[in-house]
Amino acid sequence: MSPFSPTYYKTRLNTEEFVQGIFGIDKHTEAVLKRLDRLTLDEVRTTAEEILKVVYGLVQDMSK
């Protein structure tokens, strides 16, 4: 099924509503989860940046 088909969209929408109904996810909770996801991604990027700085520093020390 194409992700652009109306049937796909309707099925996905129904699935999201079903899951939200089961777990009781309201708009506020959904916003908090999206923010948490964004912050987690930022943390992963920051950690990767720090690791690259350390590795670069080690390589620079080895080449001296």
Distant-in-sequence contacts of 2-7, Cβ < 8 A, 24+ apart: none
**Domain layout of the chain by residue ranges:** 6-62
Tens of pLDDT along the chain (64 residues)? 555 566 665 666 677 777 666 776 677 878 888 898 999 999 999 999 999 999 999 999 998 7
Could you tell me the pTM of the whole model?
0.51
What is the rounded distance in angstroms from the CA atom of residue 48 to the CA atom of residue 44? 6
